[in-house]
Amino acid sequence: MNTITSALERPVPSAGTPAADDPAAGLAVGTGRAQAKAILFGEHSVVYGAPALAVPVAALPAEAEASFAADGVDRLYSALYNGRLDRAPERTLPTVTAITAARAAVGATAGTTTGAAQRPLQVRVRSRIPAERGLGSSAAVAAAIVDAVAALTGVTLTGGERHDAVQTAERAAHGTPSGLDARAVRAAGPIRFQDGAAVPLLVAAPLHLVIADSGVRGRTREAVQGVRERREADRDGIDRIVGALGELCDLAVDALAEGDTATVGAAMTEAHALLNALGVGDPALDHLVSVAAAHEALGAKLTGGGRGGCALILAADADHAATLSGALHEAGAAAVWTTMVAATDPRGEAPAR
């Protein structure tokens, strides 16, 4: 069973590590790191202005290393493709776009189109985040690349510039990203996200989450497009669902602050039904949600773009999460991870813009 436990109290560095001499290659190396995210509330409805609630999943990191290419050719090394950037296949477009966007951001900030920002790059990506599973793989890889390139070139990007570069890559990945994923993959803890702004949340009692992979590839671009088409055909009906999803999100935000995990779980299960009504469900996800319910999960729902990908399940405690993991694996989940969201009180921190 693929089970990883992560504690989210460990903040992930939000900026890349400054370039350092790499004795092996004799070259300067800049590194960047981000992590997976899981959406508890607000996938799809966030696109129409409703609030969303997401948590980072630190146990599933994405890391990038950037160095200057000694032979003058841009190159990418990753699980998907190794080779020249100009010959990279279509499926690497989001990653290639992240490199291009990082270079452009660094060049614009440095106020020059020459120099370090223009030198050919070698970018190596290592990610533990399964792709196309609704866990923010594309945003995390892009965030790691942007920070690695900035660190290599010695340019300090603002939070807004880093975010914009990730969003450029996310547009290549799935069209019209709300920005939720780009924020959550860099967050230190749970966030409420709405209209581009992320606010860290007060969590009074830990959340024990189980993420179960249906094994079916999620299709965020098609799912987002599908909701848009449904909304064009029935604006009032879809807006009612969007509104209800937004209310569930804020009910859960309040419940989190009170340590009322039972209410959070019940709202998750309601959200799953509403997401099915939006047309982004999948029978494999319904199966995982019903297995979780049969094992007394506090709540369960699809997470991320849907139409495949993962189910997110709320357990009562760590032992219950382990029991649920076993049951979900036996019921056919392709992989199962557990993650613990620690109680946290971020009051006083400014919202990230």
Q: Which residues bind ligand MEV (CB under 6 A)?
A: 43-44, 46-47, 134, 177-178, 180-181, 220, 224, 304-305
111-149 burial string, b = 16+ CB within 10 Å, else e?
Answer: eeeeebbeeebbbbbebbbbbbbbbbbbbbbbbbbbbbb
- Which phi and psi angles does 40 have, rounded to 5°? -85, -35
Tokens (6 digits) for 140: 């995390």
Helices 261-278, 283-294: inter-axial angle, 10-degree rounding: 160
Residue type, 51: P
Q: In angstroms, what is the minimal distance from the CB of 81 to ligand MEV?
A: 23
Q: In angstroms, what is the minimal distance from the CB of 215 to ligand MEV?
A: 18
Whose Cβ is closer to ligand MEV: residue 265's or residue 306's?
306
Residue from 351, 342, 187 nearest 259 by CA: 342
Residue from 117, 188, 191, 193 nearest 151 by CA: 117
Whose Cβ is closer to ligand MEV: residue 155's or residue 242's?
242
CA distance 141 to 160: 17
Q: In angstroms, what is the minimal distance from the CB of 280 to ligand MEV?
A: 8
Whose Cβ is closer to ligand MEV: residue 107's or residue 305's?
305
Q: In angstroms, what is the minimal distance from the CB of 110 to ligand MEV?
A: 30
Cβ neighbours of residue 302 under 8 Å, at least 6 residues apart? 43, 134, 272, 275, 280, 281, 282, 285, 289, 309, 310, 311, 312
Cβ neighbours of residue 9 under 8 Å, at least 6 residues apart? 189, 342, 344
Q: In angstroms, what is the minimal distance from the CB of 106 to ligand MEV?
A: 25
Is 198:159 a contact under the CB 8 Å cutoff? no
Whose Cβ is closer to ligand MEV: residue 53's or residue 224's?
224
Whose Cβ is closer to ligand MEV: residue 16's or residue 51's?
51
Whose Cβ is closer to ligand MEV: residue 55's or residue 66's?
55
Whose Cβ is closer to ligand MEV: residue 99's or residue 249's?
249
Whose Cβ is closer to ligand MEV: residue 47's or residue 101's?
47
Q: Could you tell me the CA-to-CA distances from 247 to 42, 47, 244 in Å, in that order? A: 10, 15, 5
Q: In angstroms, what is the minimal distance from the CB of 233 to ligand MEV?
A: 19
Is 45:242 a contact under the CB 8 Å cutoff? yes
Whose Cβ is closer to ligand MEV: residue 51's or residue 107's?
51
Q: In angstroms, what is the minimal distance from the CB of 304 to ligand MEV?
A: 4
> What residue number has its CB nearest to ligand MEV?
178
Q: In angstroms, what is the minimal distance from the CB of 178 to ligand MEV?
A: 3
Q: In angstroms, what is the minimal distance from the CB of 46 to ligand MEV?
A: 5
